[in-house]
Homo-oligomer: A and B are copies of this chain.
Amino acid sequence: MYGSSVLTAVGLRSEGSNYVMSNGGGVMSSTTHLLDFLEEPIPGVGTYDDFHTIDWVREKCKDRERHRKINAKKKESAWEFTKSLYDAWSGWLVVTLTGLASGALAGLIDIAADWLNDIKEGVCLNAMWFNHEQCCWGSNETTFAERDKCPQWKSWAGLILGQEEGPGSYIMNYFMYIYWALSFAFLAVLLVKVFAPYACGSGIPEIKTILSGFIIRGYLGKWTLLIKTVTLVLAVASGLSLGKEGPLVHVACCCGNIFSYLFPKYSKNEAKKREVLSAASAAGVSVAFGAPIGGVLFSLEEVSYYFPLKTLWRSFFAALVAAFVLRSINPFGNSRLVLFYVEYHTPWYLFELIPFILLGVFGGLWGAFFIKANIAWCRRRKSTRFGKYPILEVIFVAAITAVVAFPNPYTRQNTSELIKELFTDCGPLESSQLCQYRSQMNGSKAFVDASPNKPAGPGVYAAIWQLCLALIFKIIMTIFTFGLKVPAGLFIPSMAIGAIAGRIVGIAVEQLAYYHHDWLVFREWCEVGTDCITPGLYAMVGAAACLGGVTRMTVSLVVIVFELTGGLEYIVPLMAAVMTSKWVGDAFGREGIYESHIRLNGYPFLDAKEEFTHTTLAREVMRPRRSDPPLAVLTQDDLTVEELQGIINETSYNGFPVIVSKESQRLVGFALRRDITIAIENARRKQEGILLTSRVYFTQHAPTLPADSPRPLKLRSILDMSPFTVTDHTPMEIVVDIFRKLGLRQCLVTHNGRLLGIITKKDILRHMAQMANQDPDNIMFN
């Protein structure tokens, strides 16, 4: 039906000669175009429906237009000049506000979660609102072993039964622990379910999708912010195997979104708003880990889609502001910005790269396994009746977690504290069970060389067993926890698993070096009595490897962990482990957990990292396919309002190509369904004489009509006269590249100048799913 050669009709002639004129006189045509632009600005045209993709190109043009208007006006008066200044500064203002709010909220959440977490075990007698540590600050007990036992702090057994020791009080504490854990979990899921369903999960998959140009109304709204903040504290305190770091990114993005409403530059432009959100996500990671540079790189590498250099600079600023606010709040009481601040005193040796790479392999395997298992479980939850009872599920998981976690000290304690303990090197002042080595030297030497390698004592062996159990427990519970209807981050559980594995490997290598110091590798580097293995470093490397395996982050992960230690010294082990873990993980499937969840939810997300490697051409992907009805097109000047409405009602496409005539099939432009509907409604309400039989025209001048015909309707102002086109021979890899880099929603396909079909983002995603032998109907939105 396309491409049959006939005489091209009236439309072509009139319009062709019109063109020669305007080509001749560039000035004239530019003014008419401008007039078109100012003519009838129909309210609602240029906005988007919920769960639709934005048109980046159009948004950026809108912003430049706005900018030009302000620039043109600014010389008119002092007031206009002030307004232009305000406009120029609003970018910095909004990121400053976002940084301030994110930092403050993060501090608040840290303090509240700490306090609520300690409530599970006991209460501070003289000041309810103190957590365990703060409660014991004023205490006279100064020995380090006893520092967290002080008379002011009463365990629940001590408070209720009046005794701190004995099986009865253990059971009492156990019971109270489970009671509080269940209460917190119940409250959290209830609040989420009733007030803000979007507050659940980590939010990063959705934020990635939103940043790539998708609209999810309310996902970053004030209710989500409020409920997420509150329930995050509850979820963390409930002892579930989850962290607060991922959700902090969501919280920061909510702040960014809310503040962007103060500035029309950002609130009225979806593309500009996403710049603020990129900066906000950098601020979120910055406060989550106390790593501003890592946060910026996280935003760049992991979440952002459109990241111009101006945004880089503002993200950096937002991340810094947030970090400084958090440091002034000082939630950890050590005036450190960093969650797990560690200092190691010994260098690493080349042979240690082997265990580090093994940890990388472990991290990659864990990541791949976790992604597969968690996605399988989440799919089950989505597809069976099972997902209908989110509250019961949360309570059930929380109950199991609490019951199993309490007896083991390493699972009972706060996960971040566990990670901190595992990262920390054994110094002479360290009282942890993990540091109970058998000392073989006299006192004086122990002070000179604080922590030489020593044979492990019974404490260490006990700790290793408990750590092994904790590892298994964490692995199982994390799979079932991520995806529950509570705010749940993955960073901390993943890091905990890696840190446990790493510490175990570290102690093993350490003992190997001690007992077999005559082996070649150890003889070269480790002298007896000197410190050559740092188990804490292994824990850190393991944590990075596991986090890398799950999220497939690379540079940002290394930089975040680098900012924790602050020394370039340990970057090489980290890189080795993270690289290995990424490669091992990628061998089982290239998607990280966030991309997998995006795909599970069917969001239209075109990943910039994934390469399109097939040889298909545009014509094989475009619609209409062979068996489809012909493409729904509009002709530029011979439809009536009724016919146009008919076409719109019969089809469900989001937009229609406008062509010169059915015969020539030459493309004029593209009109969006939403815009056409709004424009027709508006015209019928406001313009007189527009009837169902009125002719609709997209051309510059009205077509010549019989004298008795009703007033025609001009729709040129909603016509996109510069639609993107590719030829049918264009390889899909180029088309995908264009979609990604320009942020298109759709692209028209032509052959030798004639319109053939259309490719939308959804078509591409479906095609890619088909090529990867996945279900193409999984992509749900446009």
Across the interface, which residues of B come within 8 angstroms of A7, CB to CB? 7
Other-chain residue from B16, B737, B753 in contact with A4 (beta carbon distance below 8 A): B16
Q: Is the beta-carbon distance between B317 and A309 smaller than 8 angstroms?
A: no
Q: Is residue A742 contacting chain B, with contact meaning CB distance below 8 A?
A: yes
Q: Is residue A497 contacting chain B, with contact meaning CB distance below 8 A?
A: no
With contact pairs A312-B555, A320-B571, A754-B753 given, residues A729 and B722 touching in the complex (Cβ less than 8 Å) = yes
Chain A contact residues, majority secondary structure: helix
With contact pairs A3-B20, A727-B721 given, residues A309 and B301 touching in the complex (Cβ less than 8 Å) = yes
Q: Is the beta-carbon distance between B734 and A722 smaller than 8 angstroms?
A: yes
One of A135-143, A167-175, A181-189, A613-621 at the interface:
A613-621
Across the interface, which residues of B come within 8 angstroms of A667, CB to CB? 752-753
User: Could you tell me which residues of chain A, from 750 to 765, have a CB within 8 Å of some CB in chain B?
Assistant: 750-756
A13 (CB) vs chain B CBs: closest residue: B5
With contact pairs A60-B737, A727-B722, A742-B738 given, residues A17 and B29 touching in the complex (Cβ less than 8 Å) = no
Q: Is the beta-carbon distance between A61 and B734 smaller than 8 angstroms?
A: yes
Q: Is residue A715 contacting chain B, with contact meaning CB distance below 8 A?
A: no
User: Could you tell me which residues of chain A, from 437 to 458, have a CB within 8 Å of some CB in chain B?
Assistant: none
CA gap between A734 and B669 in the complex, in Å: 15
Other-chain residue from B12, B323, B737 in contact with A742 (beta carbon distance below 8 A): B737
CA gap between A15 and B559 in the complex, in Å: 57
Q: Is the beta-carbon distance between B320 and A619 smaller than 8 angstroms?
A: no
Q: Is residue A23 contacting chain B, with contact meaning CB distance below 8 A?
A: yes
Contact with B along A56-85 (1 / 0, CB 8 A): 010011001001100100000000000000
Tell me how far the C-beta of A51 lies from the nearest C-beta in chain B, rounded to whole angstroms.
26
Q: Is residue A650 contacting chain B, with contact meaning CB distance below 8 A?
A: no
Across the interface, which residues of B come within 8 angstroms of A609, CB to CB? 309
Across the interface, which residues of B come within 8 angstroms of A23, CB to CB? 2, 619, 626, 728, 751, 756
How many monomers of this protein are in the complex? 2
Q: Is residue A723 contacting chain B, with contact meaning CB distance below 8 A?
A: yes
With contact pairs A555-B312, A753-B754, A756-B23 given, residues A731 and B727 touching in the complex (Cβ less than 8 Å) = no
Q: Is the beta-carbon distance between B559 and A293 smaller than 8 angstroms?
A: yes
Across the interface, which residues of B come within 8 angstroms of A2, CB to CB? 19-20, 23
Contact with B along A78-107 (1 / 0, CB 8 A): 000000000000000000000000000000
Q: Is residue A726 contacting chain B, with contact meaning CB distance below 8 A?
A: yes
User: Could you tell me which residues of chain A, from 658 to 703, have a CB within 8 Å of some CB in chain B?
Assistant: 660, 664-669
User: Could you tell me which residues of chain A, from 29 to 56, have a CB within 8 Å of some CB in chain B?
Assistant: 29-30, 33-34
Q: Is residue A730 contacting chain B, with contact meaning CB distance below 8 A?
A: yes
Across the interface, which residues of B come within 8 angstroms of A751, CB to CB? 19, 23
Q: Is the beta-carbon distance between A61 and B613 smaller than 8 angstroms?
A: no
Q: Is the beta-carbon distance between A733 and B320 smaller than 8 angstroms?
A: no
A71 (CB) vs chain B CBs: closest residue: B613
The listed residue with most B CB atoms (<10 A of its CB), out of A33, A615, A753, A755, is A753
Q: Is residue A115 contacting chain B, with contact meaning CB distance below 8 A?
A: no
Tell me how far the C-beta of A591 lies from the nearest C-beta in chain B, rounded to whole angstroms.
15
With contact pairs A558-B316, A742-B737 given, residues A3 and B30 touching in the complex (Cβ less than 8 Å) = no
Besides A68-B613, A316-B555, A722-B726, 20 new A-B residue pairs in contact (Cβ under 8 A), listed by A number:
A2-B19, A3-B16, A3-B19, A5-B8, A5-B13, A5-B16, A12-B752, A15-B752, A23-B728, A26-B617, A60-B737, A313-B554, A316-B558, A320-B572, A660-B753, A722-B729, A725-B725, A738-B742, A741-B742, A753-B753
Task: Enumerate 26 A-B pairs (CB-CB under 8 Å) in ascending A order.
Answer: A1-B20, A3-B17, A4-B16, A16-B752, A22-B619, A23-B626, A23-B751, A23-B756, A29-B619, A57-B734, A57-B737, A60-B733, A293-B293, A309-B608, A316-B558, A320-B571, A566-B566, A660-B753, A665-B753, A666-B753, A666-B754, A668-B752, A669-B727, A669-B729, A725-B727, A750-B753
Report, nearest first, the 4 A-B pairs whose CB atoms are least far apart: A666-B753, A753-B753, A722-B730, A3-B16
Interface residues of A (CB under 8 A from B): 1-5, 7-8, 12-13, 15-17, 19-20, 22-24, 26, 29-30, 33-34, 57, 60-61, 64, 67-68, 71, 292-293, 296, 300-301, 308-309, 312-313, 316-317, 320, 323-324, 337, 554-555, 558-559, 562, 566, 568, 571-572, 575, 608-609, 611, 613, 615-620, 626, 660, 664-669, 721-723, 725-731, 733-734, 737-738, 741-742, 750-756
